[in-house]
């Protein structure tokens, strides 16, 4: 993946809490190639959203702090540039959309006003041109009667339409990279399918990369080319999507896949649940963070944490027994 648009290396983001320092993102490393969708997968608290916020330097500080690592966008380390330069990056080169559109839509302004502001900030000073662009964007994301809805307030739209409006705002400046944090989790399946279809057609049109943050493996399978699996702040597996589903190389990934209901399996089939719970990030075990839930645990796992080790081009796993996970 020489042609990576985004290169994240050894990123560490911590939160300083009453109970101690918690490393929500711990030595996270991955690439996002150009015009590609990479899924960042994991369960709540694994650090996937904090990773995205760290890329945009939007971690609330205090209590949060980006401690170390590099986030290179087209060769430029975003962690080293000035706040002023960073503002040029946000919304322009890199945009973010959220699960709850009201996170980024301001309820007291019309959606048109909000898109126009984004366009005028980065693209044109002309209000008239910006308004025309806003209407064009609303049309692009499939909002009906865009010349009317441009003057609508967020509360006048349905959940799906709000999601579309937020996408229009994020895409106003045709970013190279879109960070999509659970973009369809709050939506019904038929609306979610519309939004995901929209994202993929916009991706082809704008040739942008998407970092798709999700807990839904169905969405991963249908939308991503590469997958990064996170667990307790660590990347535990990286793989092309087909390889990940066909032959996972980390017991946690295998566990996640096993815990999904299979079509036609019948009621008597027990789901292969992963027993136990995620470790406390403040009191982490010495060895592998997944060890106490792992069916393949050996002595070494509780003593020594493995590195994220590449074993094939484009594939790596943080497991001592990676080669045995999918025999």
Residues in the site for other proteins, rule: CB under 8 A? Answer: 43-44, 158, 160-161, 188-194, 196-197, 215-223, 241-242, 245-246, 255-265, 267, 269-275, 277-278
Provide the minimum distance between the beta carbon of 130 and other proteins in the complex, in angstroms, as a whole number.
Answer: 28
Q: C-beta of 111: minimal distance to other proteins in Å? A: 17
Are 319 and 234 in contact, with CB atoms under 8 Å apart? no
Residue 272 near residue 258, CB atoms below 8 Å: yes
CB of 134: closest distance to other proteins in angstroms? 22
| Three-class DSSP category at 22 | strand
CB of 17 to other proteins, least distance (A): 16
Complex with other proteins: residue 20 or 218, whichever CB lies closer? 218
Nearer residue to other proteins within complex by CB, 46 or 178: 46
Burial, 272: exposed, middle or buried (Cβ in 10 Å; 0-12, 13-18, 19+)? middle
Comparing CB distances to other proteins, the nearer of 116 and 230 is 230
Q: Are 198 and 160 in contact (CB under 8 A)?
A: no
Cβ proximity to other proteins, 52 vs 192, nearer residue: 192
**Residue (of 252, 248, 141, 257) closest to 200 by Cα position:** 141
For residue 26, the minimal CB distance to other proteins (Å) is 19
Q: How far apart are CA 123 and CA 10, in angstroms?
A: 34
Residues contacting residue 155 through CB under 8 Å, at least 6 positions apart: 107
Q: Residue 285 has which token pair?
A: 């075990």
Nearer to other proteins, 69 or 255 (CB): 255
Nearer to other proteins by Cβ, of 173 and 235: the residue is 235
To other proteins, the closest distance from the beta carbon of 216 in angstroms equals 7
Is residue 149 classed exposed, middle or buried when 0-12, 13-18 and 19+ CB atoms within 10 A define those classes?
buried
Tokens of 58: 């939007």
């Amino acid at each position: 993946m020489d042609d990576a648009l985004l290169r994240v290396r050894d990123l560490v983001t911590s939160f300083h809490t009453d109970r101690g320092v918690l490393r929500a993102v711990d030595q996270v490393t991955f690439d996002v190639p150009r015009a590609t969708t990479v899924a960042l997968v994991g369960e709540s608290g694994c650090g996937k959203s904090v990773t995205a916020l760290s890329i945009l330097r939007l971690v609330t500080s205090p209590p949060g702090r980006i401690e170390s690592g590099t986030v290179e966008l087209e060769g430029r380390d975003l962690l080293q540039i000035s706040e002023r330069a960073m503002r040029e990056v946000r919304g322009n080169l890199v945009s973010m959309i959220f699960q709850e559109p009201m996170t980024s839509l301001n309820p007291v302004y019309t959606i048109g006003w909000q898109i126009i502001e984004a366009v005028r900030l980065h693209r044109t000073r002309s209000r008239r041109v910006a308004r025309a662009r806003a209407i064009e964007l609303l049309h692009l994301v499939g909002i009906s009667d865009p010349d009317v809805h441009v003057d609508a307030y967020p509360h006048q739209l349905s959940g799906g339409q709000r999601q579309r409006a937020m996408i229009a705002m994020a895409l106003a400046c045709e970013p190279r990279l879109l960070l999509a944090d659970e973009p369809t989790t709050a939506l019904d399946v038929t609306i979610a399918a519309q939004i995901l279809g929209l994202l993929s057609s916009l991706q082809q049109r704008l040739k942008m990369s998407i970092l798709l943050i999700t807990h839904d493996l169905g969405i991963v399978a249908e939308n991503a080319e590469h997958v990064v699996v996170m667990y307790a702040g660590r990347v535990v597996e990286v793989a092309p999507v087909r390889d990940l589903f066909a032959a996972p190389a980390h017991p946690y990934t295998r566990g996640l896949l096993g815990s999904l209901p299979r079509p036609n399996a019948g009621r008597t089939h027990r789901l292969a649940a992963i027993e136990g719970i995620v470790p406390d990030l403040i009191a982490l075990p010495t060895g592998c963070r997944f060890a106490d839930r792992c069916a393949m645990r050996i002595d070494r796992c509780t003593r020594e944490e493995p590195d994220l080790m590449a074993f094939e081009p484009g594939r790596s796993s943080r497991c001592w027994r990676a080669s045995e996970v999918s025999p």
